[in-house]
């Protein structure tokens, strides 16, 4: 593990409101698939047990700063965790659920929508299936014969629980494979309505996948 006890980390997570927060904490312990860190400031709510967080830190790799982290699932809030100094503090324990990799904070909560989940992507009045989506962007699929491949900035509409939200996205990558065109886009700007509505929807999809044993 590159992230070690004693390091200050960023704890990224989605609240019930759909808002994504990025409070800081200190890692107290990491053992195999478990991590213990300090209660964040502002604090994580008690009902966050079972929720996912991204634990990350900026490290210097090959002479340049890069953010590395891993996903973890909150399991307990400990009222009197004893730290090295002998003091007892509030701590949070979590199960590590992914490998440690280079991460982008806005891409941390990327999910694969299921059928009838209340999330539709529309481009030029046509609906296209979403392969995966995060607060930072979307990866969708077209038929290869669906006209000229999109490029540059494109106007998308995300219909979230029947509410259309218009968003400008920048095409980052287009891949043609077996008669299909896969398009990766990054959302432009910081649209508060999009972040709020999409944040809540990502949380709903994450809960469903967790209940179905897919996470």
Q: Which domains does the chain carry?
A: 8-107 (2.30.110.10), 119-211 (2.40.10.430)
pLDDT in the model for residue 161: 94
pLDDT in the model for residue 16: 72
pLDDT in the model for residue 47: 84
The answer to whether residues 91 and 36 touch, using CB atoms and an 8 Å cutoff, is yes
Is pTM beyond 0.85? Reply is: no
pLDDT tens per residue across all 215 residues of the chain: 889 999 999 998 877 776 778 899 999 999 889 999 999 988 998 888 988 888 999 998 888 898 998 888 899 999 999 998 899 999 999 999 888 888 777 666 678 898 899 999 999 999 999 999 987 889 999 988 877 888 999 999 999 999 999 999 999 999 998 889 999 998 886 677 887 788 888 878 877 776 666 55
Tell me, letter by letter, the H, E, C secondary structure of the chain. CCCCCCCEEEEEEECCCCCEECCEEEEEEEECCEEEEECCECCCCHHHCCCEEEEEEEEEECCEEEEEEEEEEEEEEEEEEECCCCCEEEEEEEEECCCCEECCHHHCCCECCCCCCCEEEEECCEEECEEEECCCEEEEEEECCCCCCCCCEEEEEEEECCEEEEEEEEEEEEEEECCEEEEEEEECCCCHHHHHHHHHHHHHHHHHHHHCCCC
């Amino acid at each position: 593990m590159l992230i070690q006890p004693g390091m200050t980390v960023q704890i990224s997570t989605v609240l019930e409101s759909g808002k994504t927060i990025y409070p800081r904490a200190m890692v107290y312990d990491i053992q195999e698939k478990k991590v213990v860190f300090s209660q964040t400031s502002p604090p994580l709510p008690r009902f966050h047990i079972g929720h996912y967080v991204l634990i990350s830190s900026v490290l210097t790799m090959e002479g340049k700063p890069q953010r590395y982290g891993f996903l973890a699932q909150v399991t307990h809030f400990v009222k009197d965790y004893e730290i090295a100094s002998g003091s007892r503090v509030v701590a949070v324990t979590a199960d590590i659920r992914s490998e440690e990799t280079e991460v982008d904070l806005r891409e941390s909560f990327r999910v694969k929508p299921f059928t009838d989940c209340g999330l539709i992507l529309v481009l030029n009045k046509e609906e296209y299936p979403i392969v995966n989506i995060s607060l930072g962007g979307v990866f969708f699929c077209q038929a290869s014969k669906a006209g000229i491949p999109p490029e540059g900035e494109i106007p998308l509409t995300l219909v979230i629980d029947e509410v259309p939200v218009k968003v400008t996205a920048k095409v980052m990558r287009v891949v043609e494979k077996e008669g299909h065109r896969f398009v990766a886009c990054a959302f432009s700007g910081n649209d508060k309505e999009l972040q709020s509505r999409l944040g809540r929807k990502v949380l709903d999809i994450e809960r469903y996948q967790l209940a179905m044993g897919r996470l």
